[in-house]
Structure 1
Amino acid sequence: MRDEPETRTRPGRKSPRAENPAALTVGFVLVPDFPLMAYTAAVEPLRAANTLSGCELYRWWHAAPGGGVVQASNGLGILTDVAIGSGDIAADRVFVCAGGNPAEFDDPPLFAWLRSLARHGATLGGISGGPYLLARAGLLAGRRCTLHWEHVPAFEERYPEIDVVRSLFEIQGDRITCSGGIAALDLMLDLIGRDHGAGLAAGVSDWFLHNQIREGLSPQRMDLRQRFGVRDPRLLRVLAAMEANVEAPLAREALADLARVSVRQLERLFRDGLGYGVHRHYLHLRLDRAHQLGRESALSRAEIATATGFASADELSRAERRRRRQAQAAN
């Protein structure tokens, strides 16, 4: 008997199987002004997995409040093909993709549909601001989740009982949350690996020139060393402490103790490393947080002032006006 010919496969392509696996159906619920990059980073790996495997491993559909064409934040439109509330739609996983200001989005029919999908066995996920909507629908109670870092302050104020981690993505049973952006690619690579093996996940990653698959627990943001371009470990310790203590700002003496230097030396570290002093950096950090909360939460001005270390709403407003005047003078 002749030897069977060797089967050749392209790099990243799975070896042929006698029977193709049943396709998983993935739904994307796109909320108006959704972030296009996060959505694309989530759907394109599914297409690539189908192409590289040579069979339909995944199929997907789109839904949006109001149906029709839903616009991304950059104006590009996606045509939906499933109506919110559909009772006979196939769904293994459903991802809500949202951006903008998810705290203000309220759609009871959508929330009821998501709860129905969960009851019928679908795994529910949120991307970027999507976890905010899952929480609004009551689908994250008792769960750990992540979401885009700019939505975290408002989310924590509104849902203090939900455990928020600042990771790229979280997979916890039948709930999946993702911080958005390119992290959605890492999430999908992880899911493809779980579904069909690490080889296919690596092939998809290579297909998109993504030469390192990041783990879910990887941090969302660049570390302080990269963000501020500083290397002094004393200054880095202080910067981290300031970011962790916005509601109750630490005194300069406490910050100097963290750096194991005098207050005068601490001021010199800031001016040498950042070009300005301790007070200015802390103030801008608190004002940036106040701006986030004002844009993405229903907190009153007084509550925002308290959450960012200001004695009153008037003090917060004065600090904002001073920063605007300084910015205008600099220009």
Structure 2
Amino acid sequence: MSDDTSEPSHHARPRRKPARAEDPAPRTVGFVLVPDFPLMAYTAAVEPLRAANTLSGCELYRWWHAAPGGGVVQASNGLGILTDVAVGARASADRVFVCAGGNPAEFDDPSLFAWLRGLARHGATLGGISGGPYLLARAGLLSGRRCTLHWEHVPAFEERYPEIEVVRSLFEIQGDRITCSGGIAALDLMLDLIGRDHGAGLAAGVSDWFLHNQIREGLSPQRMDLRQRFGVRDPRLLRVLAAMEANLEAPVPRVALADLARVSVRQLERLFREGLGRGLHRHYLHLRLDRAHQLGRESALSRAEIAAATGFANADELARAERRRHRQAEA
């Protein structure tokens, strides 16, 4: 651990009222930003704290930033955030959130992981946003816990950490561990925490400040339902689509899918062409290839392991399917 004991800078707050004797002690929130972190998720987490300070007229929250290597850390869009706490420094915090995007499976920084474990031992609640839960798991901080993370990272995470229960919710608060799927779900998470800390009235005021007219609960789903995503209404087609997405490792035979829809295979093929503009087999194949691409980008699995996880007999069969799709896209 470093001997750096410098206090993190406390950000100026607009329109603050004079301190009152009854003002609560401010909570300190740390943000550990991993290079290429998602700016939207970070902003959705930090801005509600600023708004809570402004609307309450006192400093309810203060925050600091850290990043591997220190200095200025760049978001995925190139915007830089200046850090004010060094990784390894003694830093006080009530909550610390790790915000990561890109490919968190490839990130490895033992010194950062050790520092996070130290913060947890000293009583800080540890949280992860977007791909941040992946790094908490790498640090051994999610053992025996339930967590969520961005849906794009879930397949690779489940392959690597089968012992950790993953729920596809907006956020999960489990005692001294908090995980969030990212994006604007970070706003809903912070509104929940503000409500717990200072009451539902202030949380509602912050939500209204950001034109967020419905505070979503943590267990709300991350993604739009199949009806919205694919623009289909036929319940038979929706049942089959759900079965396909739930069975990529061991694809369901066409006859079984038709039985699920209570139609013949020929009728099911027609439903797919009319509703989605492509046949049943091609749609299922594209789902499996998309998952294979995700695993290849975000996990350390071998090609053979990725093939097995997406219903292909071997890596060669997967490669042939990828080449065919590429040729079709160019045609």
TM value normalised by structure 1: 0.93
Cα contact 2:9–2:64 (8 A) shared by 1:
no
Q: CA deviation at 1:127?
A: 0.2
Q: Aligned in 2, Cα 1:252/1:55: closer, same or farther, shift over 3 Å?
A: same
Q: Is 1:280 aligned with 2:282?
A: yes
Cα contact 2:19–2:58 (8 A) shared by 1:
no
- Secondary structure of the residue that 1:97 maps to in structure 2? strand
C-alpha distance in structure 1 between counterparts of 2:7 and 2:61, whole Å: 31
Aligned length: 323
CA RMSD of aligned residues (A): 5.5
Cα contact 1:12–1:203 (8 A) shared by 2:
no
Q: Aligned in 2, Cα 1:8/1:55: closer, same or farther, shift over 3 Å?
A: closer
Q: CA deviation at 1:58?
A: 0.2
- Secondary structure of the residue that 1:4 maps to in structure 2? coil
Q: Is 1:6 aligned with 2:33?
A: no
Q: CA deviation at 1:138?
A: 0.1
Q: CA deviation at 1:6?
A: 37
Deviations 1:205-260 (A, max 9, x none): 00000000000000000100000000001100100000000000000011011111
C-alpha distance in structure 1 between counterparts of 2:115 and 2:227, whole Å: 44
Q: Aligned in 2, Cα 1:153/1:93: closer, same or farther, shift over 3 Å?
A: same
Q: Aligned in 2, Cα 1:4/1:238: closer, same or farther, shift over 3 Å?
A: closer
Q: CA deviation at 1:181?
A: 0.3
C-alpha distance in structure 1 between counterparts of 2:13 and 2:182, whole Å: 30
Cα contact 1:154–1:292 (8 A) shared by 2:
yes
C-alpha distance in structure 2 between counterparts of 1:4 and 1:68, whole Å: 16
Runs of 4+ deviating beyond 3 Å = 3-18
Q: Aligned in 2, Cα 1:52/1:254: closer, same or farther, shift over 3 Å?
A: same
C-alpha distance in structure 2 between counterparts of 1:327 and 1:117, whole Å: 49
C-alpha distance in structure 2 between counterparts of 1:13 and 1:6, whole Å: 17
Determine what percentage of the aligned residue pairs are the same residue: 91
Which among 190, 193, 197 is matched to residue 192 of structure 2? 190
Gaps of 5+ in 2: 1-5
C-alpha distance in structure 1 between counterparts of 2:306 and 2:267, whole Å: 32
Gaps of 5+ in 1: none
Q: Aligned in 2, Cα 1:232/1:10: closer, same or farther, shift over 3 Å?
A: farther
Structural mapping, 1:98-109, within 5 Å: 98-109=100-111
Q: Aligned in 2, Cα 1:216/1:262: closer, same or farther, shift over 3 Å?
A: same
Which among 32, 39, 60 is matched to residue 29 of structure 1? 32
Q: CA deviation at 1:144?
A: 0.2
Q: CA deviation at 1:322?
A: 0.4
Aligned to 2:250: 248
C-alpha distance in structure 2 between counterparts of 1:183 and 1:25, whole Å: 21
Q: Aligned in 2, Cα 1:17/1:154: closer, same or farther, shift over 3 Å?
A: same
C-alpha distance in structure 1 between counterparts of 2:63 and 2:205, whole Å: 21
C-alpha distance in structure 2 between counterparts of 1:5 and 1:285, whole Å: 46
Q: CA deviation at 1:9?
A: 22
Cα contact 2:13–2:54 (8 A) shared by 1:
no
C-alpha distance in structure 1 between counterparts of 2:82 and 2:317, whole Å: 47
Q: CA deviation at 1:4?
A: 42
C-alpha distance in structure 2 between counterparts of 1:156 and 1:202, whole Å: 35
